[in-house]
Structure 1
Amino acid sequence: MVSRSFVLWLHGLGDSGPANEPIRTFFSSPEFKLTKWFFPSAPHSPVSCNYGTVMPSWYDIYEIPVTAESPKDEDGVLKAVQNVHAMIDKEVANGISPQHIFVCGFSQGGALTLASVLLYPRTLGGGAIFSGWVPFNSSIIARISPEAKKTPILWSHGMADRTVLFEAGQAGPPFLEQAGMSCEFKAYPNVGHSITNEELLHLESWIKARLKSSS
């Protein structure tokens, strides 16, 4: 029996939810027959790395390229996390099991995905980060619940990324290890700051495996 599931996709800086909707065409397996997809758009706000230009942004980014050491807008991230949690809570209230809820995101949306699943009080089906980074300092680790630590994480990053440097992605697994979590980290040679069909096909099989094991 196919269970109801929910996939939330968080776009990158300056992008929009609707522009990312074609992603769902990669998920054609029967397991996704009852999947609800949601592609929200970030609010418009001034972005420091773009000289204060107003654009769709989940929180502020101070510099591009993003490195492992880039300064972080933690307050902005935590506010954005509350919005994501409200989207998840709405689906849980509609009867979808948290273990069938997947948060995925690219770039700034990937960093927000990480923050959202780590700070959600329950175990989710999974969090998938593409070309993202760790958007807060290790002091946040004390706020990660034992339930959240069981949420599986998939982290994919292009090795030729000049916007969010590969080293910013590579800082993810040690950060998670410090929090007592593990993740599947996939490096894609010759891939820049973009999401490839190969990454999406892997995401499909990764989510499918988790839907099967929890149903």
Structure 2
Amino acid sequence: MASFILWLHGSGDSGPANESIKEHFTDPVFKSTKWGLPTAPSRPITVNRGAVMPAWFDVTDVPITSKSVRHDEEVLSAVKDVHSMIDKQIANGINPNNVFVCGFSQGGALAIASVLLHPRTLGGGIIFSGSMPLNPSIKEQVVPEATKTPILWIHGTDDQIVLFEAGESGCKFLQELGMSCEFKAYPGLGHSLMDDELEYFSSWLRSRLLSGGGVVQQKRGCCSQM
């Protein structure tokens, strides 16, 4: 079946540098999967003393916590670009339930914002070492269809860039909206991707494609650990 996986990289990275992620998607169910691995525009980053690098929006403080300053205007501008990528695939015939928005770090933050503000129910949002990049008041703009999109949130307990508590807080916020958010903690993992995470990511997507769509029974539990 046709599906679309949109992968959003972290700040300072690029889309092509993440091509190897595809190696974890060898199951036949992904045979007709299209991938989007865009590169963010280059911009000065405050936390790096104005150095210019690819980033979806500015970063003003590190580590990122659940109380970090939100820059809604820049995030919302990036969300519009992500929605354009998603909507192009839907217009080309991909079922919204087979569209998955994923990302690492800042890319994960943008992924969750994009899922929350999309007018349709998508197949899922997968967040690696991310945080909620929008103020809590954003819930007023979230339509019921978006709250049916299931979320997988993966975070290392020793992350010193985006703190573990920021991930936990983000998942709890989604659950308060009535969303299904599975929070998977990786003990000892810092701010990085590892093969075990990507294999679980692949398995999670596979189960949703085989079930015929992304809408699953609501989960209320917060955390699971390996």
| TM-score for the superposition, normalised by structure 2 | 0.93
Give the distance between the partners of 2:140 and 2:184, measured in 1 at CA: 27
Give the distance between the partners of 2:170 and 2:130, measured in 1 at CA: 9
Give the distance between the partners of 1:113 and 1:91, measured in 2 at CA: 16
| Residue-by-residue CA offset, 1:128-182 (whole Å, 9 max, x unaligned) | 0000000011100011111100000000000011111111111112211222212
* Matched length: 213
1:155 aligns with 2:149: no
Equivalent residue number for residue 104 of structure 2: 106
Three-state SS of the structure 2 residue aligned to 1:214 is: coil
Give the distance between the partners of 1:127 and 1:182, measured in 2 at CA: 10
Alignment match of 1:44 (pick from 36, 39, 42): 42
Give the distance between the partners of 1:50 and 1:63, measured in 2 at CA: 9
Three-state SS of the structure 1 residue aligned to 2:68 is: coil
State the shift of 1:58 in Å: 0.1
* Contact persistence 2:66–2:170 (CA under 8 A): no
State the shift of 1:59 in Å: 0.6
| Residue-by-residue CA offset, 1:14-59 (whole Å, 9 max, x unaligned) | 0000000110000000000000011000000111111111110001
1:124 aligns with 2:122: yes
The aligned runs of 1:55-204 (5 Å cut-off) are 55-204=53-202
Three-state SS of the structure 2 residue aligned to 1:169 is: helix
* Contact persistence 2:149–2:180 (CA under 8 A): no
Equivalent residue number for residue 24 of structure 1: 22
State the shift of 1:111 in Å: 0.2
Give the distance between the partners of 2:212 and 2:148, measured in 1 at CA: 13
1:214 aligns with 2:212: yes
Residue identity (%):
58
What's the Cα RMSD here?
0.8
| TM-score for the superposition, normalised by structure 1 | 0.97
Give the distance between the partners of 1:51 and 1:80, measured in 2 at CA: 22
* Contact persistence 1:62–1:72 (CA under 8 A): no
Unaligned runs of 5+ in 1: none
Give the distance between the partners of 2:41 and 2:151, measured in 1 at CA: 26
| Structure 1 runs of 4+ with >4 Å offset | none
Equivalent residue number for residue 11 of structure 2: 13
